[in-house]
A and B are shown apart, each in its own frame.
Chain A
Amino acid sequence: MPGLGATLGRGAATTYQQDLANADCLLVMGSNMAEAHPVGFRWPLKAKENGATLIHVDPRFSRTSALCDVFVPIRAGTDIAFLGGLIRHVIEHDKWFREFVLAYTNAAVIVDEGFRDTEELGGLFSGFDPTDRTYDPQAGHWNYAGANGKTQHKDEGNPGTHGYGHMGGGEQHPQPQKDPTLRHPNCVFQILKRHFARYTPEAVAGVCGCSPEQVVRVAELLAANSGRERTSTIVYAVGWTHHTTGVQIIRAAGILQLLLGNMGRPGGGIMAMRGHSSIQGSTDVATLYDLLPGYLPQPTTDDAHSTLRGYLDKETLSTGYWANMPAFVVSLLKAWYGAAATPENEFGFGWIPRVDGDHSHLVTTDRMARGEMTGYFVFGQNPAGGGMNAGMQRAGLRALDWLVVADWFETETATFWKNDPTGPPPRDVKTEVFFIPAAGSPEKEGTLVNTQRLLQWHNQALDPPGDCRSDAWFVYQLGRRLKELYADSADPRDWPIQALTWDYDRRHPHTLPDRTASRIHDEPDTLRILQEMNGRTADGRLLQTFGELKDDGSTACGCWIYSGVTPEPGRNRANERDRTPGNPVEPNWGFAWPLNRRVMYNRASADPDGKPWSERKKLIWWDEAEQRWTGPDVPDFEPTKPPTYRPPAGATGMAAIAGDTPFIMKTDGLGWLYAAKGVKDGPLPAHYEPIESPVGNSLHPRQPDNPTVRTFPGPLNPLAAAPTADFPVVATTFRLTEHYLSGPMSRFNSWLNELMPEMFVECGPELAAEVGFANGDWVTVRTPRAGIVCRALVTSRIKPLRVDGRAVHQVGLPFHWAFAGETVGGNANDLTSIVADVNVSMHEAKVFAVRVEKGPAGGPGLLPTKRPVAWPTREPTPGTPPAAQPEGGYAHGG
């Protein structure tokens, strides 16, 4: 999130999946797209049919690699080194898109001369404080020369919080000193050039385990397919994010794409492939501890945050679109507290809980395992199976007084007290468990936000069975009950729950699509919730755009970035499904935030004068006659601001954004090659080894791993200190097409289980020969946290790599199995550790050190908790003659 946000302004995929078909070259890295997103992969394949080159860089030769033109194997966790090699090649061989870089990035900006790079400080940036292992950007002089912007920013000032606020953005002087010749030794371009000079093909090959030629070849392919006429796209997924250097890996990709001019253009950009149906939405609406809906930073215990004015003064960025932040915050408070939010009480700002430290999931797990938590709600998630160091997660659940699990099946999290093979017997587990049966997606209505920021409404098709209810029902009814319980309190601490607006009753009869009445009468009206997020004026009119929001309390809006999704009564654009022949962005299918823009930063698809870079790659351009931006997509720019516009001195807000700077969420409108703000572990990406690695850091020998990473020492979470000899094999986890996450949505399904029935470890024949096992044998994979028993799938797709002059073995572990379901097996996440990167408390599931041992001969000795069912249902299809019954079903006509 901050990776893209700090570079470009918004922490979300910059384009839409179908646009991948427009690319001339695709680099898929940190993503196993064909397996994890098979339907999304149809678009890269269309590009391939059109002549594009597909490149896959990955530790494993997967089903994605099988369809790509070029496959480069690298050691897991060396992505920054590889990308650094590409960046260096592009700079050294003058392959960068000069006009684009000069106009649209901060390449020419001059940085404070006090800044010291990793080159000068042995792998550290200036400003590092070894006592608390954090950077102080102020002390490190990361800022621009002569910067007069606000130097103190929330996510830098308070180590408890993350860089989500403002989507990772930060204040920066809108008109800094520049050297358009790019010769000044302290200009961003020169710093970049020096920083990556070390990443020669040979050095990179030595770290990654590929050949130098492969680095050069990928760089050449990308460079040849970028420029005015051509564009390349980078696709990533959790193979990049699940690292202690994840934010910086994505930063490196952003830098590369800015240098090549592949941003805001058809077939360009960075496509983040997210894993869950609404993971983008849950970040937008922010079921996250340090964020309010719409990427507004949640106030902290910082003194300045004690008043609304102080908070807004400190957090509002004076230039760029974020200058409107006061309107977003006040409108949110009005949506939450309604009439009780008045100017006198600062619209209830004081009722928002102040963040006093890191309360992200991993840290909460640590606290839970230490017995510091009383209760926990888990909605459609499975920490006991899929959480990092799942054994510690289960220890945490056992230490709770009560746990509420809302799900469809009896998952590991629901049954940890009785089915955990490593846990104590139930009589020793104190936790009180409530299992709330959840409605399935066909049985409820609501909006999912997919990986391309597209809001798509799903309609209810039928009633849920028995007592199954939507999670919205549960939270709504729980809220109502709590409001009753607190109704009579006079204690000021109970005012927020009393003031909270909480009326989503249905005003119309709840009718199903077949025109029968629903038998459930108290489900909340989901559309009313969406309309609250869309926002209204004081007189109840629905907002058409967030441009209408005011900071005086006259508008209420629950999530400003969604404004426009329900622009008028009876209209829900998320539920509009119309095709637009001839317009590739398909603007009338669903609704993309912000304001239905499908390609973000699309102003960059035109040159500084507003003309398309080329006919082949045009998307948005300046129509001189009409005096407005036009094209098939909605301009991600002020629609009538001419390219020639130059901000007057002292301008604020959008007036400070020039007509030729496309990144409007940035205070200076530029893409940040160098990010002085928004990233806590350095303004530039540097290669660090994973926390657990069999080798040292050959690029920065004095600094093996990311210096800012937090660890959680304790008997439940031991780490193999790097470089480790006891655990000599590099392990990575991966997703199979046939299963989903830790299995709650796939291991209770016989049609999927039969396709992939058992946990296995994927390894090469060389490792198998060394340890002495054969394909299909039982093996034990061990880390300091746990050992799991699984099958060996010995395949030549996995090869040892030459790293640091010796052969390093890699193994791949699918993370879909645990102890509950029709199929059960060793849990890859019992092996993973809890560590947290400093930007977003991200763990490192994608690389850790293991040892592979033979046996035990009998396998894990785990029994499934559910008997497989051959047929989902034995009932004939109602109202259907025998001749039209399913051919293979129970009811077939034989």
Chain B
Amino acid sequence: MFSLPMSNRPQPFSPQTSDKASRLRGATVTASVCPYCAVGCGQLIYTKGGRLIDIEGDPRSPINEGTLCPKGANAFQLAVNPHRVTQVLYRAPYSAKWEPKPLAWAVDTIARRVKAARDAELSAGGKAVKSFGTLGGATLDIEENYLMKKLFTGGLGVLPVENQARI
């Protein structure tokens, strides 16, 4: 009833179709965790030739069992993204543009700004540093949080150390 008058004969496969395979063959697999929300889905990261080629849910994870949400499925584009900034950008006071700068320059300059602000405040009789602070941490690794708390609170005596967490 629904077949066409022409014969429904199988069409030949092109060589490319016969050779069809996934790009994961020969890729390196690394176990990871989704960087988005706090569900903590396991992810598998596939690399080849030093390049990221795929990120999928880790089927072994008891939390997500291989599944992901749209953001987790987007983790590839989050990393492989032409909008990412890959060098230090510097904006001088009152300037209208960014200037690319070397990393070492940035670390050195920022360290000097920190020292100047801290020394000025403590020299003026401050008991703790309140003129600068840090914000962030809930999207970072705990090791990074720990270094921040240790350096800014334990080393420099800074009080305003905060992140996104509340309650």
Contacts and interface: CB of A to CB of B under 8 A. Distances in A.
- Is there a direct interface between A and B, measured as CB atoms under 8 Å apart in the complex? yes
Nearest to A891: B23
Q: Which of A428, A471, A875 has the largest count of B CB atoms less than 10 A from its CB?
A: A471
A442 interface: yes
B74 to A, nearest CB: 5
A42 B132 contact: no
B77 A872 contact: yes
Contact of A440 (B67, B78, B96, B140): B78
Contacts, number: 529
A245 to B, nearest CB: 11
Contact of A478 (B68, B74, B80, B107): B107
Given A373-B131, A418-B96, A878 B49 contact: yes
Interface string B108-131: 111111110100111000011111
A472 B35 contact: no
A430 interface: yes
Contact of A288 (B60, B127, B165): B165
A496 B158 CA distance: 12
B143 A514 contact: no
Contacts of B63: 17-18, 39-40, 450, 454, 589
B83 A822 contact: yes
Interface in A514-560: 514, 516, 524, 526, 529-530, 532-533, 558-559
Interface string A361-385: 1001001000011111111110100
B138 A278 contact: yes
A506 interface: no
Nearest to B76: A872
Contacts of A414: 89
A577 B15 CA distance: 41
Nearest to A386: B164
A883 B20 contact: yes
A744 to B, nearest CB: 9
Nearest to B17: A883
Interface in B133-159: 133-151, 153-159
Nearest to A375: B132
Contact of A379 (B15, B52, B134, B158): B134
Contact of A577 (B42, B52, B122): B42
Q: Which of A2, A283, A337, A875 has the largest count of B CB atoms less than 10 A from its CB?
A: A283
Given A352-B154, A879-B49, A529 B147 contact: yes
A530 B84 contact: no
Contact of A18 (B18, B62, B163, B165): B62
Contact of A286 (B86, B149, B167): B149
A866 B149 contact: no
Interface residues of B, number: 130
A533 B90 contact: no
A454 B40 contact: yes
A514 B107 contact: no
B9 interface: no
A456 B42 contact: yes
Contacts of A493: 122, 157
A381 B146 contact: no
A872 B145 contact: no
Contacts of A39: 39, 41, 63-64, 67-69, 72
Contacts of B61: 577, 589
A842 B140 contact: no
Q: Which of B62, B67, B102 has the largest count of A CB atoms less than 10 A from its CB?
A: B62
Contacts of A281: 138, 141-142, 145
B92 interface: yes
A273 B38 contact: yes
Nearest to A584: B62
B1 interface: no
B123 to A, nearest CB: 9
A462 B55 CA distance: 13
A3 B166 CA distance: 11
Contacts of A462: 45, 47, 50-52
B149 A482 contact: no
Nearest to A273: B38
Contacts of A286: 145, 149
Q: Which of A279, A430, A589, A866 has the largest count of B CB atoms less than 10 A from its CB?
A: A279
B134 A579 contact: no
A583 B61 CA distance: 14
A282 B138 contact: yes
B140 A380 contact: yes
Interface stretch (A184-192, A624-632, A717-725, A749-757): A749-757
A675 B52 CA distance: 52
Q: Which of B38, B39, B65, B162 has the largest count of A CB atoms less than 10 A from its CB?
A: B38
A475 B148 contact: yes
Interface in B5-19: 15-19
Interface string A34-46: 0011111010000
Contact of A287 (B40, B68, B74, B163): B163
Contacts of A285: 137, 142, 145-146, 149
Contacts of B86: 437, 465-468
A367 B140 CA distance: 26
Contact of B153 (A353, A575, A869): A353
Contacts of A289: 159-162
A193 B167 CA distance: 27
B4 interface: no
B104 to A, nearest CB: 9
Contact of B85 (A367, A410, A454, A751): A410
A98 interface: no
B150 A430 contact: no
Given A500-B150, A514-B50, A481 B108 contact: yes
A472 B30 contact: no
Given A579-B60, A869-B82, 6 more contacts: A274-B37, A280-B38, A427-B94, A469-B103, A476-B147, A840-B167
18 contacts: A274-B37, A279-B164, A282-B145, A288-B163, A292-B149, A361-B160, A408-B78, A409-B84, A436-B88, A441-B35, A442-B55, A482-B115, A496-B157, A737-B69, A840-B167, A880-B23, A884-B21, A886-B23
Interface of B: 15-23, 25-26, 28-43, 45, 47-53, 55, 58, 60-65, 67-72, 74-98, 102-103, 106-115, 117, 120-122, 127-151, 153-167
